[in-house]
Chains A and B, each alone.
Chain A
Amino acid sequence: MGVLPAFRLHRPTTLAQALELVNDDRMPYAGGTELLLAMKEGLLRPTHLVDLKGIGSLRDVRESGSGVSIGALVTHTQAADHPIVVDRLAGLAAVLNRVGNPRVRATGTLAGNLCFAEPRSDVAAALIALGGEVEIASAEGRRAMAVEDFVIGPYTTALEQGELVTGILVPVQPDLRFAYLKHQTTERPTLGVAAAANSHCSLVVGAVGFAPQVFRSPSPSDLDPSAIADRVEVVPDLTGSEEYKRHLVEVYVRRAVAALGGRR
């Protein structure tokens, strides 16, 4: 049996306390599904964990303007089961219900998923296609940033020193068609393609590269699967060579377009 490396635990009960605590060496900790695993593997060795779970204000799912705000402590299961999400963001709920496995979903949070920036994240690809934003707080105040700009590379986000993600804002677009298709023959997807369309179309190619890649067009039919397959950045690994993964991208982009009712 493996063992977690030594660390010290902090348990702030307000956001202000938490913001005072976090820095490069003191990592925020919520669900821990990625973090504790990486620590047990010896890949991450924070000397302090700042447990955010005592901050009640980060637990809410609520309607916010024309969107839905999902607090940083909301787990995949809680979000997928929440009546507001089920009602307003059914496509997202469907994606969340297929993340990892039931234990990962019951413990892991959406915000944690984005902050860890695992390149093969289903959630990041889906949220980018849906136009999601990350709500960020720091001692200086609050800001919001598109998920697309937040996830900048493998295990790398645009979050700055002293900042914390407090939630995710997902716009609700009543006439939106949405699809998320993944090719998964191992523990994590080889490829995930998220596509959303109403008056315009966003297609996100996830998992094959270092970060999700976005392609926009007026409508799904305008997307060219083979051109996208040529253009995406692809990282070969045990699940496929570059050539095969480009082929998969073409297949799945075509399937996603078809799922949105496009013609190609």
Chain B
Amino acid sequence: MRYPTRLDAVPKVTGKARYAVDFAAHGMLFSALVRSERGHAILGGVDAEAALSVKGVVAVITGEDLAPLFPRYGHIVADHPILAIGKVRYLGEPVALVVAEDRYSAHDGAEAVEVLYQDLPTVMNPDQALADGAPLLHTTDYGVGDRSFSEAHSEPRSDNVCHRVDLHWGDVEQAMSRADHVVETSTSYPMLYGYAMEPYNALAHFEDGYLKVITTAQHPFMVRDDLARVFSLPLSHVRVTSPYVGGGYGTKSYTKVEPLAAVGAWYTGRPVKVEFDATGSILTTRADSARVTIRSGFSSDGRLLARDVDLILDTGAYADNGPLVLSKASNRSFGPYRNPNVRVRGRAVYTNTVPSSSYRGFGAPQVSLASELNMDQAAEVLRIDPGELRRRNLIPPGERHYPGKRPMDADLAADLDLLLEGLGWGKPTPERHGIGFGVTASDAGAFPVSTATVKILPDGSALLSTGSSEMGQGSRTALSLIASRELGIPLERVAISQSDTHATPYERTSGASRTTTLVGLAIQRACLQLLARLEEVAVELKGGPPTEVKAAEGTVVGPWGDLSYGEVVQEWFGGQLGELSATGVVRRAGDLAELPPFWEIGASGVKVRVDPDTGQVFPLRMVTVADVGHAIHPEMLKGQDVGAATQGLGAALFEELVYDGPQLVNPNLVEYRVPRAKDMPGEIVSIVAERGDGVGPYGAKGGGEGTLNPMGAATAAAVARAVGRWPDRLPLTPERVWRLMRESGR
């Protein structure tokens, strides 16, 4: 079968696709930020006089100016000031927004602002932050944000722990004492920047009593909620629109720069554009670094008896999504294995660094590095093939590995076999070559709430409306395909409007790999209702027993003959006018009562060669397996999977944000290296396993993120097999690998 090209492809290759950054408004002001030059300090004052005398500068806005508003945001804990209030908590934090008639004046004005600081001691990593007597970043309590995150808490603090998770079942200590082997693995996962290529930006203005914001956000409805609270507006009075999003990967989940643009517009009464550069974006959101120790007890025949996990995330200066990332990291830390005894102790810790939030994988890459390497190391100890060791422990389809959660909706052992075959595992490899792989399962899909509307217009064409965003994942195409298939009309006659809190129905998020499954389900439900409505209307118009009237393939067929969908609409309304519509709703009920909506499987691996002189790692072959139940569009799915694995490879080999004191050493794309074409293996194999075992349309379930999750561990294992020593941290820079080789004597 030939699948259609992407519906957004032509606009994107012609330069006509509009991203948030491409929008301007009449009378729009530009802006530039004054950022903190200190890691932790009391704000002594902001002198804006010189800046205000720069030609073109309209206003210099500081945290103090926001007193009439609710001046913070944060969907879990509302601890994040729009502009620093009283003190700064990381170097790069927004202190003042300079608004001007053009971008040059804004820049010059920002340079002229003087800020006085009284330094406070900093805590730059979790060790410092957790030490006795460590200076506290936050001492006051804040409003709790989104109450659907039930673990959220907000009290005055006596330590720098932003969030804690304690998870356990069975009796870990007792099981460890019975184990024939206990294998312990400790790893460090690097601090990352997700680098979506469209930097953070937003355009805000107040019009007709509404706050209107165009932004590069994945979840416009959640941004709306934060903005409504800032300005005490009804949710109905905030309109957030996300046009094409220039890369998301979770880095554009939740509120980022929208409040800055909005307070600029509020303060000046004119439209204000906030447009960060790449460095500004790095200083806005990063991904959590993690230190993980995992101890596993095994019987001599390789059965997993217990896992004990200790996990610390460096969540930076503000909570943002850190608590949820910790929660997810904890859920994903013990692996998709049958395991009667589990204990996880997790802490997310405030430090004087750039706040971290979600990034593709959402805690899973951080913990899987430890948990999958631990399986490999155990295999070595147990003298069992690492593929076989996993096979003996992987949770079988239909069984629960996590009490209270959905039973496994995937055949992990079959996925593993596909992966190992693709990698050529078991065949002899040349000197200095190694193969590594991993298998993960993430509780994905987020909270299952989706709404979608489908309309049939009087010419029989269909219009979908959904709050989900198109950020490259292909939602526009996949969702249109589902509607085209359900209604039986050609894809060319299906249009879609997306991500506008005024014009499209509610969507919780475009994240957690949920769109095809959950929005797809909402669209499928809307289409079914719409077909029923067409039948009902046809019966009303033409008569006949309802059981003999059937709408499908663009036509309503009854005892009286055929009517096209368009004819039904026209006859009912009496002319070339009107429309029939239906709204499909997805809630946590029925098939979706049990969370997660689906397990997102990660199965990927890599074959590498290591330069024996320099330690440089050359990936030769990369294999991904997508266990997605049903692929709505296999070509797009493979693109997602390979892209995700590539990001995993970047973290494995190159990427790391590095601090020197309070200063980020490499907040730019020259010194923070992401993978390039040259870095990619010459052989890439992307396998799609379709077993119809998902809750979504046609048995589909989410994908596009899973293949990233095992890549760190897979690459580390491949390198270990090439050099004879287990790495304990990423990225595997040439120097680190060279040191491993020296230690192993190989």
Report Cα–Cα, A128/B614, bound state, in Å: 25
In contact, B277 and A186 (Cβ under 8 angstroms): no
Partner of B670 from the list A1, A183, A188, A244 (CB cut-off 8 Å) is: A188
A185 — which chain B residues lie within 8 A by C-beta? 616, 654, 673, 733-734
A33 CB, nearest partner CB in chain B, Å: 13
25 CB-based A-B contacts, threshold 8 Å: A1-B275, A1-B277, A2-B107, A2-B277, A2-B279, A3-B104, A3-B106, A183-B614, A185-B616, A185-B654, A185-B673, A185-B733, A186-B654, A186-B670, A186-B673, A187-B670, A187-B671, A187-B673, A239-B735, A241-B735, A244-B735, A244-B738, A244-B739, A247-B738, A251-B614
A183 — which chain B residues lie within 8 A by C-beta? 614, 616, 734
A257 CB, nearest partner CB in chain B, Å: 14
B199 — which chain A residues lie within 8 A by C-beta? 1
Report Cα–Cα, A240/B666, bound state, in Å: 14
Report Cα–Cα, A186/B733, bound state, in Å: 10
B673 — which chain A residues lie within 8 A by C-beta? 185-187
- Interface set, chain B 655-676, CB cutoff 8 A to A: 658, 665-666, 668-671, 673
By beta carbon, the residue of chain A nearest B736 is A244
In contact, B277 and A238 (Cβ under 8 angstroms): no
The residue in A185, A244, A251 that gathers the most chain B C-beta atoms within 10 A of its C-beta is: A185
A3 CB, nearest partner CB in chain B, Å: 4
The residue in A5, A41, A187, A188 that gathers the most chain B C-beta atoms within 10 A of its C-beta is: A187
- Interface set, chain A 1-22, CB cutoff 8 A to B: 1-3, 5-6
A146 — which chain B residues lie within 8 A by C-beta? none
The reply on B417 being an interface residue by CB < 8 A is no
A5 — which chain B residues lie within 8 A by C-beta? 107-108, 111
In contact, A186 and B671 (Cβ under 8 angstroms): yes
- Interface set, chain B 707-746, CB cutoff 8 A to A: 733-735, 738-739
Report Cα–Cα, A134/B671, bound state, in Å: 30
By beta carbon, the residue of chain B nearest A45 is B111
Hey, which bits of chain B sit against chain A, CB under 8 A?
Answer: 32, 103-104, 106-108, 111, 199, 275, 277, 279, 613-614, 616, 654, 658, 665-666, 668-671, 673, 733-735, 738-739
The residue in B32, B616, B658, B734 that gathers the most chain A C-beta atoms within 10 A of its C-beta is: B734
By beta carbon, the residue of chain A nearest B665 is A238
Report Cα–Cα, A238/B735, bound state, in Å: 10
Query: What are the 10 tightest A-B residue pairs by CB atom distance, in nearest-first order?
Result: A3-B107, A244-B735, A2-B277, A251-B613, A187-B670, A240-B735, A186-B673, A1-B275, A3-B103, A3-B104
The reply on A248 being an interface residue by CB < 8 A is yes
Report Cα–Cα, A187/B103, bound state, in Å: 29
By beta carbon, the residue of chain B nearest A244 is B735
A36 CB, nearest partner CB in chain B, Å: 14
In contact, B104 and A6 (Cβ under 8 angstroms): yes
By beta carbon, the residue of chain A nearest B616 is A185
Report Cα–Cα, A4/B163, bound state, in Å: 42
A247 — which chain B residues lie within 8 A by C-beta? 738
A187 — which chain B residues lie within 8 A by C-beta? 669-671, 673
Report Cα–Cα, A188/B665, bound state, in Å: 16
Report Cα–Cα, A81/B111, bound state, in Å: 43
The residue in B32, B106, B275, B277 that gathers the most chain A C-beta atoms within 10 A of its C-beta is: B277
By beta carbon, the residue of chain B nearest A250 is B613
Other contacts beyond A3-B103, A183-B616: 15, CB < 8 A: A1-B199, A2-B277, A3-B32, A5-B108, A5-B111, A183-B614, A186-B673, A238-B658, A238-B666, A240-B734, A240-B735, A244-B735, A244-B738, A244-B739, A248-B614
By beta carbon, the residue of chain B nearest A190 is B734
B417 CB, nearest partner CB in chain A, Å: 34
A166 CB, nearest partner CB in chain B, Å: 30
A142 CB, nearest partner CB in chain B, Å: 36
A240 — which chain B residues lie within 8 A by C-beta? 733-735
A99 CB, nearest partner CB in chain B, Å: 15
Report Cα–Cα, A244/B613, bound state, in Å: 11
0/1 per residue, A232-254, Cβ < 8 Å to B?
A: 00000011110010011001000
By beta carbon, the residue of chain A nearest B668 is A41
- Interface set, chain A 169-198, CB cutoff 8 A to B: 183, 185-188
B107 — which chain A residues lie within 8 A by C-beta? 2-3, 5
A1 — which chain B residues lie within 8 A by C-beta? 103, 199, 275, 277
B680 CB, nearest partner CB in chain A, Å: 14
- Interface set, chain A 52-104, CB cutoff 8 A to B: none
A239 — which chain B residues lie within 8 A by C-beta? 733, 735
Report Cα–Cα, A248/B613, bound state, in Å: 8
B613 — which chain A residues lie within 8 A by C-beta? 251
By beta carbon, the residue of chain A nearest B734 is A185
0/1 per residue, A132-153, Cβ < 8 Å to B?
A: 0000000000000000000000
B631 CB, nearest partner CB in chain A, Å: 36
By beta carbon, the residue of chain B nearest A188 is B670
By beta carbon, the residue of chain A nearest B279 is A2
B738 — which chain A residues lie within 8 A by C-beta? 244, 247
A221 CB, nearest partner CB in chain B, Å: 20
The residue in A1, A186, A188, A241 that gathers the most chain B C-beta atoms within 10 A of its C-beta is: A1
By beta carbon, the residue of chain A nearest B615 is A244
Report Cα–Cα, A41/B739, bound state, in Å: 35
By beta carbon, the residue of chain B nearest A247 is B738
A251 — which chain B residues lie within 8 A by C-beta? 613-614
B666 — which chain A residues lie within 8 A by C-beta? 238
B108 CB, nearest partner CB in chain A, Å: 7
Report Cα–Cα, A239/B614, bound state, in Å: 12
B108 — which chain A residues lie within 8 A by C-beta? 5-6
Report Cα–Cα, A5/B32, bound state, in Å: 13
Report Cα–Cα, A238/B654, bound state, in Å: 11
A219 CB, nearest partner CB in chain B, Å: 23
Report Cα–Cα, A170/B733, bound state, in Å: 37
B573 CB, nearest partner CB in chain A, Å: 49
Report Cα–Cα, A99/B670, bound state, in Å: 15
Report Cα–Cα, A2/B734, bound state, in Å: 33
B354 CB, nearest partner CB in chain A, Å: 17
B35 CB, nearest partner CB in chain A, Å: 12
B671 — which chain A residues lie within 8 A by C-beta? 186-187, 238
B669 — which chain A residues lie within 8 A by C-beta? 187
Report Cα–Cα, A104/B684, bound state, in Å: 30
The residue in B671, B735, B739 that gathers the most chain A C-beta atoms within 10 A of its C-beta is: B735
B668 — which chain A residues lie within 8 A by C-beta? 41
By beta carbon, the residue of chain B nearest A186 is B673
Report Cα–Cα, A238/B277, bound state, in Å: 23
A112 CB, nearest partner CB in chain B, Å: 18
Report Cα–Cα, A187/B670, bound state, in Å: 6
A235 CB, nearest partner CB in chain B, Å: 14
Report Cα–Cα, A3/B98, bound state, in Å: 14
A238 — which chain B residues lie within 8 A by C-beta? 658, 665-666, 671
By beta carbon, the residue of chain A nearest B199 is A1
B416 CB, nearest partner CB in chain A, Å: 32
B345 CB, nearest partner CB in chain A, Å: 33
By beta carbon, the residue of chain B nearest A2 is B277
B670 — which chain A residues lie within 8 A by C-beta? 186-188
A193 CB, nearest partner CB in chain B, Å: 13
A94 CB, nearest partner CB in chain B, Å: 17
Report Cα–Cα, A99/B609, bound state, in Å: 26
A3 — which chain B residues lie within 8 A by C-beta? 32, 103-104, 106-107
B739 — which chain A residues lie within 8 A by C-beta? 244
Report Cα–Cα, A29/B137, bound state, in Å: 46
B131 CB, nearest partner CB in chain A, Å: 27
Report Cα–Cα, A187/B666, bound state, in Å: 12
Report Cα–Cα, A65/B233, bound state, in Å: 79
A241 — which chain B residues lie within 8 A by C-beta? 735
A179 CB, nearest partner CB in chain B, Å: 16
A246 CB, nearest partner CB in chain B, Å: 12
